[in-house]
Amino acid sequence: MKWVTYESEAGRRTGILDGDNVRGLRPGVSLVSLLEAGALAEAGDSARRTPHEVRPLAEVRLLAPLPRPPSVRDGLCFLDHLRGCYRALGRSEQLHPAWCEVPAFYFTNAAAVVGPHDDVPVAPGSRMFDLELEVAAVIGRGGRDLPPATAERHIVGYTLLNDWTARDHQLRDLALGLGMGKSKDSALTLGPALVTADELDEHREDGRLALELSATVNGEELTRGTLDRMDWTFADLVAYVSRGADLVPGDVIGSGTVPGGCLLEHVGTGDLAGFGRWLRPGDVVELRGQGLGETRQTVVPGAEVAPLTGIANREERRCVN
């Protein structure tokens, strides 16, 4: 099934896609509530047989399938993406051994989720705004200390993810040494639908989802790749993030960026005409995923930045030599 959250003049609803229509459930039902109750399959059957409403897809506004997930963790499972970023920055592509010991991830802002066709403001103050082509797994059944052999059974489905990033803010985050902060705080796209895992079984090769993925900016293809090229699998990633930590229904876990799927890997390298700059208002960014659908969003101006007052005890600060 392909689950969506949508808005119409009657309010917000949860439902399933059925061709060019949406078959909606009664008001007050959310995807998270269905996952928590273990009632997704039953609700899907109800939406098929006796929907509360049926509306043309063209007449509703699709929101993120999980507008406010319990948490969002984003991994970095395509190591060639990291090598591409290092190459663009003029760094050695040799990775620290730690990248091959565990799948890296960080927590990002679950309150910043936006829908698949929403406008995306530039992060306040950023002059190096970027997109990132990813796929997210959604946890359907909670757990803790999951073994890799069974961890993937806790995934209920998948959706496209665009991890919008302010690269200039990221450079400051990295200098602080505490991980991702304001660089990842402004927007995170999920959608257009949560596609249940069984719906994608036909795309499995050697046990992995071999979904074709692509990203375009203003109609020009930025990259194309497949999900099965992840160095760390979703099974390993889910198992790792559950070590000593509870996963709950509705948690979102990102794959990390498909190699070439961000501007950082292209800006200034001269390897792709037309992408010698960062995103700016008016740019249209599209992500596509085989079996997952597509997102299409316009970048718009961000909010003005209010200057900070600075460190209170200026005489004792030691930030300037």
Give which of 235, 285, 284 is closest to 103, Cα–Cα: 235
Q: Is residue 297 helix, strand or coil?
A: strand
What burial letters (b/e) apply to 152-184, b meaning 16+ CB within 10 Å? bebbbbbbbbbbbbbbbbbeebeeeeeebbbbb
The pLDDT score that the predictor gives to residue 227 is 98
**pTM for the full predicted model:** 0.95
Question: In 163-251, where do the E strands start and end?
Answer: 165-166, 188-196, 204-205, 208-209, 212-217, 220-226
The pLDDT score that the predictor gives to residue 89 is 83
C-beta neighbour count of 320 within 10 angstroms: 4
Enumerate residue ranges in the chain where pLDDT < 50. 272-273
Q: What is the DSSP letter of 210?
A: -
The pLDDT score that the predictor gives to residue 314 is 60
Residue with structure tokens 């990102």?
254
**Structural domains of the chain in order of their starting residue, each with its CATH number:** 2-62 (2.30.30), 72-300 (3.90.850.10)
Contacts of residue 89, defined as CB under 8 A and 6 or more positions apart, other chains included, come to: 264
Task: Give 54's strand partners.
Answer: 23
The pLDDT score that the predictor gives to residue 303 is 96
| 215 vs 65: CA distance, rounded Å | 20
The pLDDT score that the predictor gives to residue 312 is 64
Q: Cβ(58)–Cβ(22) under 8 Å?
A: no
The runs of H, that is alpha helices, within the chain are 31-37, 40-49, 79-88, 148-151, 167-176, 234-241
Q: How many DSSP H helices and E strands does the chain contain?
A: 6, 21
> Model confidence over 283-300: pLDDT tens digits?
999 999 999 999 999 999
Q: What is the DSSP letter of 279?
A: B
The pLDDT score that the predictor gives to residue 284 is 98
Q: Cβ(224)–Cβ(44) under 8 Å?
A: no
Q: Cβ(137)–Cβ(72) under 8 Å?
A: no
> Model confidence over 271-282: pLDDT tens digits?
544 567 899 999
Contacts of residue 305, defined as CB under 8 A and 6 or more positions apart, other chains included, come to: 124, 125
The pLDDT score that the predictor gives to residue 321 is 56
Contacts of residue 234, defined as CB under 8 A and 6 or more positions apart, other chains included, come to: 77, 137, 151, 152, 155, 253, 255
Q: Is residue 304 helix, strand or coil?
A: coil
The pLDDT score that the predictor gives to residue 25 is 98
